[in-house]
Amino acid sequence: MKTTKHLSQDIHTHLYHKLFDVIPDLLTIEESGKSVVAGFMNLNLDVHYRTPERIIIALSHYYRQYGDMIPDPDMVIAVYPLEEKAEALAYQDTWGSRSVYFDNGVTVDTKTQRDLNSFLNQWLTNLIMQGHYIKAETADEG
C-alpha cells in the first residue's frame, strides 16, 4: 500500500513540474494564455479558479470541423502550489469525456485517475518536446 501512495505522490509532483515547464508563469496568469508553435495545434490555457491553495485550469487543443471548434483534448487540471502537486480532474475529446471525481467530489474513480494522470504526463512531455510555452494573453492578442 505504501508503494502505491508513494508513486501517486511522485506522479502529482512530476505533473506539477512539467506544467511549469509549459506554463512558467502559471501562478500569475490571470485568465488565459496561448502557445502557437508552427506545425502543431495551438495550445490554450484557461484559468477557471484560483486561491493560494488551489488553481483549476483547462488545457486544450481545438480543431475546426464543419465550422465548429472541437476539443481534442481538453483537460481540467488542479494545481496545488503550496504542495507542488497537480492532478488531472477531467478529460474530453471528440469521442467523449471522463471525470476523476463524482458525487460532488466524494467518490474517486481510481482507474480514471491513473489513466488521466498518465495521459497528462505523456501529453505534457509531448508539449514540451514540441516547444509549447504559454504566456499570459495581452489585450491585443485577444
Q: Is residue 141 part of a domain?
A: no
Q: Is residue 140 part of a domain?
A: no
Q: Is residue 122 part of a domain?
A: yes
- What percent of the chain clears pLDDT 90, i.e. is strictly above it? 67
What DSSP letter does each residue of 107-136 carry, written as one string? EE-HHHHHHHHHHHHHHHHHHHHHT---EE
C-alpha to C-alpha distance for 58 and 133, rounded to whole angstroms: 15
Q: Up-side HSE of residue 121: CA atoms within 13 Å toward CB?
A: 15
* 8: confidence class by pLDDT, cuts 50, 70, 90: low
Q: Is residue 101 part of a domain?
A: yes
Q: How many domains are there within the chain? A: 1
Q: Is residue 142 part of a domain?
A: no
For the cut 50, the answer to whether the pLDDT of residue 2 exceeds it is no
* Poorest-pLDDT segment among 9-18, 74-83, 96-105: 96-105
Domain range for 117 is 2-135
Identify the residue whose cell numbers are 471525481: 101
C-alpha to C-alpha distance for 55 and 67, rounded to whole angstroms: 32
* 94: confidence class by pLDDT, cuts 50, 70, 90: confident
Over residues 133-142, mean pLDDT: 64
* 105: confidence class by pLDDT, cuts 50, 70, 90: confident
